[in-house]
């Protein structure tokens, strides 16, 4: 019998108390986030008796804070290339089974106003509460029960029951017992399908934890290496004070690392650099890697500076660059790259000197010391190894009745609504069969 026990398990006296009157469910879902709620409403609509248990005092906290409170709930263009995984093909089946158009249809059925922003990202016009309330309404209509303030103490497998007429396949499934506390009340629950939708390590203040990984480990399911994703960078060298001086400045750049490139805004902060471009590339960065920033995307800096040399020959280089870049940034770059010739007119620069500066503007190499970590990371890279999971159902291949969905899996989406789409798609896929 496989048993997962939390670090602080129930005492023997408590355990004997909860054994007296166990509660039976067809499906128990651990976590009332995006994937858990989608799985719950899908399974309940099939007539399954569903219970969602959530450790926090409220459900859907990450939904509510996402997109600045407007929830970037999906994207008009969703492809497998928008996701990172040890198996890049794993996400395809679920994304095909429940598409962005399916979720958009649900949103439109509820009359929720939304808008399309840059890069085909879809946001609520009013509030992320609209998305959460929609999911909760669907759960309520289907009869799915949700309980908050629940902490897991133990998960164990139970012997198979005799054949059930109600669900003829249940006798083929492993039964599970979940021992928990709701507030201070110990409870023992049983189910045929156990869904792990616990999220991951990102933003612990909103409930992020490694519970799902612990459960996977105790059931012998492999984990891939994990690290913070969609997260700002920090510096420990001379870039740190430079970023502090430029804090609040944003500009569009091309940023690349490990053969991936994104064109988005970069934002200087008191700790380093952030903004959509940096969050995107952080998914491909590993400690020790350099990132490359093109400060003049969609512009031939070499040709531009040579032309300026002839047309604005008496101007200072910083004056010319300030036509394309902010004055504050140009002053910082001047200190780094051409301080000795800062007061010379452009006409005195050789073409080679201008070419060197153009190269630096197009290829500013920076070496972050670290990311800001899980405290501010929007997602966790890595997770439950997809090799152990059915891509069609999200069920553990070697453990019937046990499912992993959402961020706990080794599937990480780009910024732009893709992680929510993965939550909807994976949750739906499990809900269809659990």
User: Which CATH code fits 229-296?
Assistant: 2.40.30.10
Q: Return the pLDDT at 201.
A: 87
Q: Return the pLDDT at 2.
A: 54
Q: Return the pLDDT at 185.
A: 82
User: Which CATH code fits 301-365?
Assistant: 1.10.8
* Residue spans per domain, the chain: 3-227+380-431, 229-296, 301-365
| CATH architecture of structural domain 3-227+380-431 | 3-Layer(bba) Sandwich (3.50)
CA dist., res. 221 & res. 397, Å (int): 10
User: Strand 50-53 and strand 23-30: pairing?
Assistant: parallel
Mean pLDDT of residues grouped by 10 in the chain (434 residues)? 51 36 85 97 98 94 93 98 97 98 98 96 97 98 96 87 50 78 87 96 80 94 96 95 97 97 97 97 97 96 95 95 97 96 94 96 97 94 98 97 97 97 98 97
DSSP 192-227: EEEEE----SS-GGGT--SHHHHHHHHTT--B---E
CA dist., res. 217 & res. 363, Å (int): 43
Q: Return the pLDDT at 4.
A: 60
Q: Return the pLDDT at 219.
A: 94
CA dist., res. 401 & res. 394, Å (int): 10
Q: Return the pLDDT at 172.
A: 53
CA dist., res. 265 & res. 333, Å (int): 18
Q: The whole model's pTM is what?
A: 0.91
Q: Return the pLDDT at 9.
A: 41
Q: Return the pLDDT at 14.
A: 39
* Structure token digits, residue 322: 């300030």
* Structure token digits, residue 19: 């054994």
DSSP 25-80: EEEEEE--SHHHHHHHHHHHHTT--EEEE-SSSSS-HHHHHGGGGT-EEEES---G
- Taking CA atoms, 233 is separated from 97, 239, 265, 293, 429, in Å, by 36, 11, 14, 13, 35
CA dist., res. 269 & res. 254, Å (int): 18
CA dist., res. 268 & res. 341, Å (int): 26
* Structure token digits, residue 49: 């008796």
């Amino acid at each position: 019998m496989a048993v997962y026990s939390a670090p602080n398990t129930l005492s023997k006296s408590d355990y004997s108390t909860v054994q007296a009157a166990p509660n039976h469910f067809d499906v128990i879902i651990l976590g009332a986030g995006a994937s858990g709620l989608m799985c719950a409403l899908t399974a309940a609509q099939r007539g399954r008796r569903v219970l969602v248990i959530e450790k926090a005092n409220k459900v859907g906290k990450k939904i509510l804070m996402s997109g600045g409170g407007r929830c970037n709930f999906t994207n008009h263009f969703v492809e497998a290339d928008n996701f990172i995984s040890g198996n890049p093909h794993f996400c395809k089946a679920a994304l095909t089974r429940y598409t962005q158009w399916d979720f958009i249809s649900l949103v439109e059925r509820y009359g929720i106003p939304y808008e399309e922003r840059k890069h085909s990202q879809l946001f609520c016009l009013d509030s992320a509460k609209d998305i959460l309330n929609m999911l909760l309404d669907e759960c309520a209509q289907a009869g799915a029960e949700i309980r908050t303030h629940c902490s897991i103490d133990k998960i164990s497998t139970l012997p198979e029951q005799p054949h059930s007429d109600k669900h003829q396949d249940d006798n083929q499934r492993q039964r599970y017992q979940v021992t928990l506390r709701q507030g201070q009340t110990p409870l023992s629950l049983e189910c045929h399908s156990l869904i792990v939708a616990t999220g991951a390590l990102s933003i612990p203040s909103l409930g992020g934890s490694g519970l799902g990984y612990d459960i996977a480990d105790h059931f012998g399911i492999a984990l891939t290496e994990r690290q913070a994703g969609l997260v700002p960078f920090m510096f420990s060298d001379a870039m740190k004070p430079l970023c502090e001086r430029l804090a609040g400045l944003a500009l569009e750049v091309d940023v690349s690392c490990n053969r991936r490139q994104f064109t988005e805004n970069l934002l200087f902060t008191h700790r380093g650099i952030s903004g959509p471009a940096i969050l995107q590339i952080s998914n491909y960065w590993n400690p020790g890697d350099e990132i490359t920033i093109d400060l003049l995307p969609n512009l031939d800096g070499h040709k531009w500076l040579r032309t300026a040399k002839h047309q604005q020959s008496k101007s200072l280089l910083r004056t010319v660059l300030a036509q394309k870049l902010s004055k504050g940034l140009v002053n910082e770059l001047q200190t780094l790259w051409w301080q000795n010739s800062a007061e010379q007119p452009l006409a005195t620069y050789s073409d080679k000197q201008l070419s060197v500066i153009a190269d630096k503007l197009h290829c500013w190499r920076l070496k972050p010391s670290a990311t800001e970590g899980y405290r501010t990371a929007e997602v966790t890279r890595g997770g439950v190894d997809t090799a152990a999971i059915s891509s069609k159902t999200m069920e553990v291949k070697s453990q019937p009745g046990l499912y992993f969905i959402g961020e706990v899996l080794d599937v990480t989406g780009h910024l732009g609504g893709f992680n929510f789409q993965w939550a909807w798609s994976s949750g739906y896929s499990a809900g269809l069969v659990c």
